[in-house]
Structure 1
Amino acid sequence: MGFFKKKSNSKIHSNSISASQMMTTSSTNELKANLQENIQIIKDSIGKSSDIIIREIRIGEEGTIKAGIIYTDGLTDTTALQNFILETLMLDFKETELQEKLSPEQNLITVLKDFAMTVGEIKELTNFEVLFTGLLSGDTIILIDGYAQGLIISNRYWVERGVTEATAQVVVRGPREGFSENLRVNTALVRRRLKDPNLWMESKVIGKRTKTNVAMMYINGIANDKIVKEVRLRLDKIDIDGILESGNIEELIQDTPYSPFPTIFNTERSDVVAAALLEGRIAIFVDGTPFVLIVPALFVQFFQSSEDYYQRADIASLIRLLRFFAFTIALLAPALFIAVTTFNHVMLPPALLISLAAQREGVPFPAFVEAIIMEITFEILREAGLRMPRSIGSAMSIVGAFVIGTAAVEAGMISAAMVIVVSITAIASFVSPTYDLAISARILRFGFMAIAASFGLLGITIGLIALLLHLCSLRSFGVPYMSPLAPFNLSDQKDTFIRFPIWKMFTRPRLINQQNIVRQQDSAAAKPETSKNKEHEGV
């Protein structure tokens, strides 16, 4: 048994190319020395794309040097292109000064890069693969006649959604800023919170056609080196046409693709990412989505909210216990009702049993069929409310549930008690701070309802044992999914079911972090002093 489980995923495989194929590809991919030939290759490759602008200019006052400017309309900052590139090359650049700077070690491309361009990032390019990647990302390409080289100038600009309030993970107290679809803006939000030179970031390009920028961020010296290596390895193995959202990355690198429980955490809040990095976790940013992946993810992590650490410890502990209780209700409430009313009548008080029997006197369906009908109806209403416009979605869900429930009870198809149980279950499923865990409860709920209708409370007990064994068998990037409960770690119980005061949580999670465990050097010094034994003078 190694530190990590072996992964067998047909969607992830390494791309092997023979040496002869690589030589053939590299020879046809290199830039040509003739400008017109390079421009023709670009036109043939992009077809009749009207957003690709190709302009031929002449450099300098005398205009003896021919050059080509290629950029993508809508992705390039045309103002910077006009003021700092075209104006510099066509008006400010003097060929007499050029001849003075030319040397055997420096050609015209190098001189333009080092002495002429007054823009930020500039790189040299020698092949069409780099050219098209930069061009379609919003960079400006400069090609010079007579040189099999070019310049790629970073002046990307496009209209995007700014930093707004996070909508998927709402808090009462805490920062309001959420991630946007721009990867660099998202990493900057985390950099603003963690001003540590050990906050390292590794960038990758994934997707043969989308060329999606993916960044892996962690704190060197805190993050487990084995986990960092494993994340890097899994990202490098991805070979796919396109990555459109972080959910694509999540499916390709997760440990157990067939488990209903998520083993990778996602968030759109910068403070959650910063807190996870301080615990030794790794964040994965994907360009084009506001949701950032955090690994490794534990079961108890999905019950924690960033608001827990901004409230007082007693309030946060009460709310967290309420979340665990609500998850239990969302998972087992319909199954327990079915089991008790079908098999285990003796567990109910006589008065309640008589009331339930009177309600079900005219109902033509058994309790299991009642629950299935109500659960499916509510799931349909929930999805309809999500997909409809916000102005009428919530109203339609509430009115639809009320009208359908009332009409079903009056028609004698559903008992009133079943409507109450399903309603409480639906409300409890919204208490979870993460959407992924609520989905897991919704999926497993139907399975528990089926075994409750077949075997009663005995079936529910067996199902819970099987569920617990499944949870204990899961791992997230080598870390047991149920830690710190299984394996049990006493010091990490300070932030599991309840949250201890911050001045008592002086260590990081031990199974996630194997080095630099202490995050608060002197916990006793941080403890608030009481005024019980102090003498005060004056009023």
Structure 2
Amino acid sequence: MPFWWSKYLKSVKKNQGEQENPTHGEDTGGTAANIPAQTMGTDLKTQIEQLKKTTGNSSDIVIHEIKMGSKANVPAAVICVDGLDDSLMINENLLEVLMANPKIDPYLDSDNVLDDLMKHAIKIGGVKTVMNWNDLFAELLSGQTILLIDGVYGGLSISTRGGEQRSIEEPSTEVTVRGPREGFTESLRVNTALIRKRIKNPNLWLESYKIGEVTRTDVVLMYIKGIANDKVVEEARKRLQTLKIDAILESGYIEQLIEDKTFTIFPTIYHSERPDVVAANLLEGRFAIIVDGSPFALVAPAVFIQFFQSADDYYMRFDIATAIRFLRVLGYLISLIGPATYVAATTFHQEMIPTQLVFTLTGQREAIPFPAFVEAIVMEITFEILREAGLRLPRPIGQTVSIVGALVIGQAAVQAGLVSAAMVIVVSITAIASFATPSFSIAISARLFRFVFMLLAATFGFYGIIIGMIALVVHLCSLRSFGVPYTTPIAPLVRQNIGDTVFRAPIWSMSARPRLLSQKNIVRQGENQRPMPPKKNGEPS
């Protein structure tokens, strides 16, 4: 072994002492059984053999064995994962710099080889040292390139992430008439960059976590320091740090593990694949959680009325946005109690129906062998099956099954005398109304509660519907999202934030952030922002 290698080893042992067993320190995420427990050592061949053994000699682990420098010809290995790295960057900016390059010979004779190479030779950013197997595999399997040098303890992790990824496209689940057409992708850094592009402020802070004892998924907690409520952010941080699970494959895993209440149909965490929506919520004092591999970002604390708001509500005039929001809330109520109202009216409260309409409905139901409740249940279940089938089939076939299946089955059921034409109309209107809700997670709650309300209507009539609505409102008032009441700003009433509920006040009048979210920086715009047109004859105002 060359003298300078042994000298370097002595300095490392003197400064660090005996290397601690990496599986006895920080939690390794449950993979300690596969990761070597012994120290990395300094012999390159032994390190490569151990790496191949740990990864099962996997074919996607690429190991370039090279000679560094022009005179020293020091054995080294450049290790990466095929498909996760940028091959062009490795070839041009790393291998060409290290191989047969006389400029790095002085650094190879240094006492601190890794530090000198990191500071002076390698021109790629994001370079850091790895001193144990846990760190090495964490960096390698995240797409970084590892440099190991014979006779040197530890190695370098070099940022060369790349590989194929989906391009930025328009979100398919949050379509808007007006607004940006950019949507999140499955790349964590692309998603954070899309938000950074909209909020160019150093107070936009990111905290990184690796969650999943096997998958070691990168998760980012994002918030604006000084605007977000510190207590809410601390609670989010605490919940993320206490997660112990094998795998995080999508942000839905995180959502189910950190929500305030599990046994509720209503979502208490908002999710979106639009960067402008996430940026707007961050500016209101909320925090966002972005998961690598998922195009959906989580936003919390969430409130009930938030799920009826769309991004383009804020890009158009307030009066138009208010009218559209009324339509969404009305559509949600129809999808929730539409069939139940029909069942209650035709079963118990015929006196509330106009006389001519009663005669029409009675004539249609003379040949129907089932009560209205059974009709409604059968039709609703049939339509839900058609909707799910259309969603799971390939897109061209799915649309055909949904449209043709509903028309054919509805018409055939009426002609066969199994259901009335009025019931088909009610179920169709209910289904169309359910699509008016912008958020799928809140729309599906109405689809499920619809059956409960039909049962109450068939048992108690309109009294059952009223009892169900009271119980539903009480349940909504009992929910919390990271300590924030779910029905705010209506209950409890926050007057300065009431202008962004079912109503959407003009932008110039919404000067305060949601008070229960942001306790410090409340004001978000200056005074007197109302447009002031010029006076008559072109005089300045």
TM-score, normalised by the number of residues in structure 2: 0.92
Work out the CA distance in 2 between the residues paired with 1:178 and 1:23: 36
1:198 aligned partner: 203
Work out the CA distance in 2 between the residues paired with 1:519 and 1:458: 45
Work out the CA distance in 2 between the residues paired with 1:168 and 1:202: 27
2:7 aligned partner: none
Identity of aligned residues (%): 54
* Corresponding position: 1:316 with 2:321: yes
Among candidates 55, 72, 91, match of residue 100 of structure 2: 91
What does the per-residue CA deviation read over 1:292-346, in whole Å, with 9 as the maximum and x for residues that have no partner? 0000000000000011001111100000011111100000000111111111112
1:46 aligned partner: 55
Work out the CA distance in 2 between the residues paired with 1:87 and 1:492: 60
Secondary structure of the residue that 1:193 maps to in structure 2? Answer: coil
Q: Is the 8 A contact 1:29 1:129 kept in 2?
A: no
Work out the CA distance in 2 between the residues paired with 1:358 and 1:331: 27
Work out the CA distance in 2 between the residues paired with 1:64 and 1:28: 31
- The amino acid that maps onto 1:486 is A
Q: Is the 8 A contact 2:322 2:503 kept in 1?
A: yes
Work out the CA distance in 2 between the residues paired with 1:50 and 1:339: 66
Q: Is the 8 A contact 1:59 1:93 kept in 2?
A: no
1:237 aligned partner: 242
* Corresponding position: 1:488 with 2:497: no
Work out the CA distance in 2 between the residues paired with 1:529 and 1:22: 65
Work out the CA distance in 1 between the residues paired with 2:315 and 2:518: 23
Secondary structure of the residue that 1:216 maps to in structure 2? Answer: strand
* Corresponding position: 1:278 with 2:278: no
2:75 aligned partner: 66
Q: Is the 8 A contact 1:93 1:116 kept in 2?
A: no
Work out the CA distance in 1 between the residues paired with 2:373 and 2:95: 74
Alignment of 1:61-460 (within 5 A): 61-94=70-103, 96-98=105-107, 102=110, 106-460=111-465
Structure 1 position 94, deviation (Å): 4.7
Structure 1 position 35, deviation (Å): 1.4
Work out the CA distance in 2 between the residues paired with 1:353 and 1:406: 22
* Corresponding position: 1:32 with 2:3: no
Work out the CA distance in 1 between the residues paired with 2:413 and 2:304: 38
Counterparts in 2 of 1:206 and 1:93: CA distance versus 1, 3 Å: farther
1:534 aligned partner: 536
Work out the CA distance in 2 between the residues paired with 1:119 and 1:414: 70
Counterparts in 2 of 1:115 and 1:338: CA distance versus 1, 3 Å: same
Structure 1 position 119, deviation (Å): 1.3
Work out the CA distance in 2 between the residues paired with 1:383 and 1:63: 66
Work out the CA distance in 1 between the residues paired with 2:377 and 2:36: 64
What does the per-residue CA deviation read over 1:396-435, in whole Å, with 9 as the maximum and x for residues that have no partner? 2111111110110011000011001000000000000111
Structure 1 position 30, deviation (Å): 2.9
RMSD between superposed Cα atoms in Å: 1.9
Secondary structure of the residue that 2:398 maps to in structure 1? Answer: helix
Work out the CA distance in 2 between the residues paired with 1:324 and 1:271: 23
Work out the CA distance in 1 between the residues paired with 2:113 and 2:138: 24
Question: What stretches of structure 1 of length at least 5 have no aligned partner?
Answer: 1-17
Work out the CA distance in 2 between the residues paired with 1:190 and 1:217: 10
TM-score, normalised by the number of residues in structure 1: 0.92
Work out the CA distance in 2 between the residues paired with 1:243 and 1:20: 22
What does the per-residue CA deviation read over 1:101-135, in whole Å, with 9 as the maximum and x for residues that have no partner? 62xxx422222212211211111011111111111
Structure 1 position 392, deviation (Å): 2.7
Work out the CA distance in 2 between the residues paired with 1:378 and 1:128: 55
Structure 1 position 55, deviation (Å): 2.7
1:15 aligned partner: none
Question: What stretches of structure 2 of length at least 5 have no aligned partner?
Answer: 1-20
Work out the CA distance in 1 between the residues paired with 2:342 and 2:286: 41
Work out the CA distance in 1 between the residues paired with 2:219 and 2:238: 14
